[in-house]
Structure 1
């Protein structure tokens, strides 16, 4: 095994992946401006719901975000053409991590995945050829690299697929309940609706999703199933792109195929080199960084198993866990502010200062509700008590109470890794 991963292979797959990644980064960044995502999240709102503990990222707000996203788009182009690659990759990863941590109202798993891919790519010599760096700076030239280097990326997406499959193993997915909700939300065409509401089709869709997530990477590696796996990948991801509107993730996932197929497949793109140029590296640096990096990646998605309650209801341990397209949450929310001295109370008009996207997400997200209550608290010169009346419906079940109405949210604490007692432990029938 050690000999297999230490073997030097052509770096063509990684080089092509770099080009595809750079183009997708540019598309994501410029597209966020053109399609109005930047307006919705950072311009039209008074503030964004950053990850708890990252309040300093409120600086990433306002019209300067047009410049910010434009810079990331330019960095994507530099990555694609391989100019100042290492600098561009590091800077983009830092900037994109800032965007990811600065807002939760428009959460998408590929935002997090792109951060992780960026971190890994910062360490990989993806500019060894077919890059301006290799032309202008001969020391960066290389035609081979150890097999384990591109495997770092493959391992990362394997983690994503595996935990996405594990997350689907719950009753509403296995019996087709959520598949019905998902499929009925993507079309109004009666012919398709008639098919989508057939029990056999819902079960086929549900179990095909689990099987795809579990076996697509092994199937891509095995030569006998590779062609079929590539066809299945394109069918799966392109259909998701069209129906679910999930940004660049389908195309980013497809880009990983170039890392798995034989690098010799791409020989027609590159000039034949008589003398292989081996990329020099210090293995200790990679070991000390990537061993703990991947240990965390393996542990993070498991944390909800050791937190009390059903993550489907409490949301505790949901983020950073590859729990993708699993449930529909609809919330109802009232926030009551009480003056302890006079005992006078009033309902806070949160809808007047939030965008429609923020309102929708706030109503069903415990962590956002907690954050927002802390924000309201700061608006008053004198101490106040804040109570919430919050109910949520999961996958169109009857509404049930989400947060203890007797808890003063100004005194409630938030914990990322343990159950927060102000979130009720409801059983979903």
Structure 2
């Protein structure tokens, strides 16, 4: 799947459109130094992702390939904040876990070349780590749906389903508000409970059918990219550990030696790393509770939190630039200077609005107009509500830093 995704990115011209052509990139705090490779370097980088994905799938130089795949894919994600997607983040997380876990002990080229790598079994924590990661994605996606917009008003699902009323057979149903409410409740219940149903032997078959059906429907109705298919494949980790061996059979080269009885130093280090990893994974989706206001509006704590397909949000931003020394004024429309994706994402993300304001100030300084003030007229509509200001129009964004706490220049969601 990773191989296909990287090749698809190349074939559709997204490498150039997203990473090479834009003269400006939105970056993550602390990673502004990450820049695209010069020349054709980024194309070669994507070829490396394809090759590393193949090595991980085949179990060839597995530990090194998994570590390099994590670094290679995460590097791409750090290049452009506007391209953030939950499933890209999930790929990086899973690649990191694979680098920590010896998943090449059976049915791998490494185990075929080196019999000492073969294992009849693995410590329970290793499979448990992958299961826990998949379960956390589902559960936190469900927890994020426990709000009035989703459960009571069936938003934004009610809006999205109306866009598909032209579908044969099911189209008229999708126009029914009761269907939107039922699907909202079912979606929340599915995310919150599906890991348990997959783990319980009595409900496993029905749960697996629900997984295939749920992700197939969402993948067809909504622009989720490879996320539904990644989650469908990942859900198989919650099945009994013996199912791949029963499915593939026990060819001689797949038959591993006896398992190690005592944990090694490497396993103890991996356990410590996993403990740190899951502490972060548990804390990150909950951090938005540390900020006042609605995370769907302020976006504070919204990334890296498995908030999947929760908002219908559209914005428009223009900047007012003023030179205090001369009184000259300029009005700048970022849509004339950014890609469509960058402008769309920036218009609803306060941190990106501030970041571009700082960029404009630097740009004017380079043109011989230092110390300009930059203000934003940013209007956002959430779930079809009337547009409202997102940013305080009287705050000079060129003078504010990104705080650790709440952003005082972000206005509250109107009620």
Same fold (TM over 0.5): yes
Report the secondary structure of 1:324's partner residue: coil
Alignment match of 1:418 (pick from 405, 408, 415): 405
Q: Which moved more, 1:290-299 or 1:223-232?
A: 290-299
- Which residue number corresponds to residue 135 of structure 1? 112
- Which residue number corresponds to residue 387 of structure 1? 375
Q: Which moved more, 1:276-285 or 1:40-49?
A: 276-285
Q: Deviations over 1:346-404 (max 9, x none)?
A: 11242332111111112221111111111111112321110111110001100111101
- Which residue number corresponds to residue 16 of structure 1? none
d(CA) in 2 for partners of 1:347, 1:157: 47
- Which residue number corresponds to residue 8 of structure 2? 31
d(CA) in 2 for partners of 1:155, 1:121: 13
- Tell me if structure 2 keeps the 8 A contact 1:60–1:102: no
- Which residue number corresponds to residue 302 of structure 2? 318
Report the secondary structure of 1:55's partner residue: coil
Q: Which moved more, 1:261-270 or 1:67-76?
A: 261-270
d(CA) in 2 for partners of 1:107, 1:341: 39
Q: Which moved more, 1:341-350 or 1:67-76?
A: 341-350
**Cα 1:176–1:384, aligned 2, differ >3 Å: closer, same or farther?**
same
- Tell me if structure 2 keeps the 8 A contact 1:337–1:346: yes
- Which residue number corresponds to residue 209 of structure 2? 231
d(CA) in 2 for partners of 1:326, 1:268: 37
- Tell me if structure 2 keeps the 8 A contact 1:60–1:99: no
d(CA) in 1 for partners of 2:77, 2:55: 21
Cα offset, 1:242, TM superposition: 2.1
Cα offset, 1:288, TM superposition: 1.8
- Tell me if structure 1 keeps the 8 A contact 2:165–2:175: no
d(CA) in 2 for partners of 1:71, 1:274: 31
Q: Deviations over 1:263-316 (max 9, x none)?
A: 333335132677743256334212321112111111111111110111111111
Q: Which has the higher contact order (CA 8 A, sep 6+)?
A: 1
- Which residue number corresponds to residue 4 of structure 1? none
Alignment match of 2:387 (pick from 395, 399, 402): 399
- Tell me if structure 2 keeps the 8 A contact 1:315–1:366: yes
- Tell me if structure 2 keeps the 8 A contact 1:180–1:202: yes
- Tell me if structure 2 keeps the 8 A contact 1:47–1:61: no
- Which residue number corresponds to residue 276 of structure 2? 292
For the pair 1:110 / 2:87, whether they are aligned, the reply is yes
TM-score (norm 2): 0.92
Cα offset, 1:259, TM superposition: 2.4
d(CA) in 2 for partners of 1:128, 1:275: 7
Q: How many residues align?
A: 404
TM-score (norm 1): 0.89
d(CA) in 1 for partners of 2:39, 2:203: 49
- Which residue number corresponds to residue 174 of structure 2? 196
Report the secondary structure of 2:376's partner residue: strand
Report the secondary structure of 2:84's partner residue: coil
Cα offset, 1:47, TM superposition: 2.9
- Which residue number corresponds to residue 362 of structure 1? 346
Cα offset, 1:166, TM superposition: 1.0
**Cα 1:143–1:370, aligned 2, differ >3 Å: closer, same or farther?**
same
Name stretches of at least 5 consecutive residues in structure 2 with no aligned partner.
none
- How big is the alpha-carbon RMSD for the aligned residues of Structure 1 and Structure 2? 1.9
d(CA) in 2 for partners of 1:317, 1:189: 36
- Which residue number corresponds to residue 12 of structure 1? none
- Tell me if structure 2 keeps the 8 A contact 1:178–1:395: yes
Alignment of 1:13-32 (within 5 A): 24-32=1-9
Name stretches of at least 5 consecutive residues in structure 1 with no aligned partner.
1-23
For the pair 1:155 / 2:132, whether they are aligned, the reply is yes
d(CA) in 2 for partners of 1:178, 1:395: 6
Cα offset, 1:191, TM superposition: 5.3
- Tell me if structure 1 keeps the 8 A contact 2:58–2:109: yes
d(CA) in 2 for partners of 1:338, 1:147: 62
d(CA) in 1 for partners of 2:258, 2:165: 53
Report the secondary structure of 1:405's partner residue: coil
Alignment of 1:247-326 (within 5 A): 247-265=225-243, 266-269=245-248, 270-271=250-251, 276-278=257-259, 281-282=264-265, 283-326=267-310
- Tell me if structure 2 keeps the 8 A contact 1:50–1:104: yes
Cα offset, 1:82, TM superposition: 1.0
- Which residue number corresponds to residue 6 of structure 1? none
d(CA) in 1 for partners of 2:304, 2:12: 26
**Cα 1:256–1:47, aligned 2, differ >3 Å: closer, same or farther?**
same
- Tell me if structure 2 keeps the 8 A contact 1:176–1:203: yes
- Tell me if structure 2 keeps the 8 A contact 1:392–1:401: yes
